[in-house]
Chains A and B, each alone.
Chain A
Amino acid sequence: AQSVTQPDIHITVSEGASLELRCNYSYGATPYLFWYVQSPGQGLQLLLKYFSGDTLVQGIKGFEAEFKRSQSSFNLRKPSVHWSDAAEYFCAVADPSGGGADGLTFGKGTHLIIQP
């Protein structure tokens, strides 16, 4: 069974500083990989996704993520965070054999706090 680990439950970053959120997955092959963001009281919004090809993917809101097969990782980065980035971030995987049609498995999430 596939699984996703987000080792950091909370991360605090100063506004304007760089950010990296970690994600490791467990799967027999390369899954489809996603990062979602959830603002308080809201649903989840897709930031970016990786299926194949270039291992550095760009997303919305200035985020990017890098797939590293050797480390089974898909870490999310942003060079300079804004106060509006404070939210919960979820890494997720999908089984590519089903075309990603069988739902996503989510990590437990990382709560991002932005200090002024």
Chain B
Amino acid sequence: DAGVIQSPRHEVTEMGQEVTLRCKPISGHNSLFWYRQTMMRGLELLIYFNNNVPIDDSGMPEDRFSAKMPNASFSTLKIQPSEPRDSAVYFCASSLRGVTGELFFGEGSRLTVL
């Protein structure tokens, strides 16, 4: 079975540019999570969706960040405008809500903002 698929794997952009990260969760999973990983702060939960509905976005650092899940098989995390401090690895994870709590992670999108 295919796991969680993220794209792009690597993105280098200049400050002020728009960045869009994409995620395809595991088929049948109904919860999706976006995490950010940095050396200083570790893994931080940014936002999560249940049945395509955003449940908690309290981890989204600023209004520059937005996330959508238009259907059960696709989600985006957008940063506009990007800043150097947004440089991090962004992980998408999915799960089957209420079953085990186990998250299945994608391989991450490494973002570098110059």
- Please list the residues of chain A having a beta carbon within 8 angstroms of any beta carbon in chain B: 32, 34, 36, 41-46, 49, 51, 90, 94, 96, 98-109
Q: How many A-B contacts if CB must be within 8 Å?
A: 62
B97 lies within 8 A of chain A by Cβ:
yes
- Please list the residues of chain B having a beta carbon within 8 angstroms of any beta carbon in chain A: 4, 31, 33, 42-43, 45, 48, 50, 55-56, 91, 93, 95, 97-108
Chain A residues, Cβ within 8 Å of B48: 102-103
> Which residue of A42, A104, A107 is within 8 Å of B101 (Cβ)?
A104
> Which residue of A36, A41, A99 is within 8 Å of B99 (Cβ)?
A99
Q: Is the CB of B98 within 8 A of A101?
A: yes
Q: Is the CB of B42 within 8 A of A101?
A: no
Q: Is the CB of B105 within 8 A of A44?
A: yes
Q: Is the CB of A103 within 8 A of B107?
A: no
> Which residue of A46, A102, A105, A106 is within 8 Å of B102 (Cβ)?
A46
Take A32-B101, A99-B97 as given contacts and tell me if A43 and B33 are in contact as well, using a CB distance cutoff of 8 Å: no
Q: Is the CB of B97 within 8 A of A101?
A: yes
Q: Is the CB of B108 within 8 A of A43?
A: yes
